[in-house]
Chains A and B, each alone.
Chain A
Amino acid sequence: MEKCPQCGFALNGDESVCPNCGYVLKSDGIASPPPPPTSSGNTEKNDRPLIPFADSSKGFVDRFLETVKLVIFSPRQFFSNYNFKSNIGMGILFAVIVGFISAVLNLVYQLVFNTSIYSIIARFGNIPVKDLQFQNAIGVFGGALSLIFVPIGIVIALFITSGIYHLLLMMVNGANEGFEDTFNVVAYTSAATLFAIVPFCGNVFGVIF
């Protein structure tokens, strides 16, 4: 029995196109050349859709929100269905945006809660309010200044983390995909840091997630 050279589907012999995978079997009476020698696994992986954030056909905000939604609410679907072979530049950009947002959120919470805590301490601790306000102002100023270094820190942390993960995967024969895949997985996982939106326990929950 004749079989499709692409997917191995059993054929009657009179089809011009494989009914299973759409491979062109005969074109104007001339049989098409056999497909390039690729393993079925690779073909399947290359057919996977691009990560929404790396898909430039959509608006920037839309693809960012779609990716965040997928990572947080459908992680299994996201990490098994999408093609992580995309440019690592997009992964870096995603992680930097997400990390910067969570750093700003942390700073805002620090400002809000420190101010209230300081005012309570000043009221009950018999400490001049001005001294505490000055301490708080220095803390906030330092925090705001450190935001400049957040993107640099994120990029460094991304490379160190993904390097360690990839090395460990290589040791257990788990690094079947390239370094780009490991890097992108680590980069897109950073969406969990957005749990910082929840005060007090958000950061801890993000780490566990």
Chain B
Amino acid sequence: MKFKLVRYEKGEINIPLIYFLVFSFSGLIAFALFRCGLLPTFKCQFKEFTGHPCPTCGTTRLVLSIFQFKIRDAFLFNPFMFVSGVIFGLWTLTGFLPLFFKKKLIVQFGKREKKVIVIIIAIMFLLNWAYLWIEGI
């Protein structure tokens, strides 16, 4: 895996920055609604039908815990989604590189590395799902 800083060409779309703005904006709206008690609650249809959690169950409670600044609880509600969210958040921050340094970050994987990473993600995903079942989240 290689991290490379390459020149940001003028007119290129800054995708990480767009995602940063979209998620910051929607996060702020959700936080405001939560504070006013107007945030609608969602029920997982998978859990409704089967009685067992789906792989993303606990994400709403994870976000609500973050809004209450309970980071440990947030992690325990769905560790996979929490870690994914942190990695995603770090990636969106790279959107500021073109603004200040006129460069963008590129992550390059070899074919074999990519396969290994996909397998690791799949295992983590399944382990996380098993954790959700065992804990009854």
Contact = CB atoms under 8 A, between A and B. Distances in A.
Interface of A: 88, 152, 155-156, 159-160, 163, 171, 173, 179-180
Contact of A180 (B13, B19, B22): B13
B26 interface: yes
B13 A156 contact: no
Q: List 4 tightest A-B contacts by C-beta distance, closest first.
A: A159-B22, A156-B26, A171-B118, A179-B15
A55 B66 CA distance: 44
B19 A163 contact: yes
B6 interface: no
Contacts of A171: 118, 121
B22 A88 contact: no
Interface string B25-56: 11001000000000000000000000000000
B93 to A, nearest CB: 16
A171 B122 CA distance: 10
Contacts of B130: none
Interface in B48-99: none
A150 B118 CA distance: 36
Interface of B: 13, 15, 18-19, 22, 25-26, 29, 114, 118, 121
A179 B19 CA distance: 12
A193 B57 CA distance: 27
Nearest to A179: B15
A180 B73 CA distance: 36
Contacts of B18: 159
Contacts, number: 18
* Majority SS at the chain A contact face: helix
Nearest to B26: A156
A88 B13 contact: yes
Nearest to B121: A171
Contacts of A179: 13, 15
A119 B13 CA distance: 53
Contacts of B22: 155-156, 159-160
18 contacts: A88-B13, A152-B25, A152-B29, A155-B22, A156-B22, A156-B25, A156-B26, A159-B18, A159-B19, A159-B22, A160-B22, A163-B19, A171-B118, A171-B121, A173-B114, A179-B13, A179-B15, A180-B13
Nearest to B22: A159
A79 B70 CA distance: 45
A3 B22 CA distance: 51
Contacts of A152: 25, 29
Contacts of A163: 19
B131 to A, nearest CB: 22
B30 to A, nearest CB: 10
A163 B114 CA distance: 18
A156 B22 CA distance: 6
Nearest to A180: B13
A29 B25 CA distance: 62
B122 to A, nearest CB: 9
B106 to A, nearest CB: 13
Contacts of B15: 179
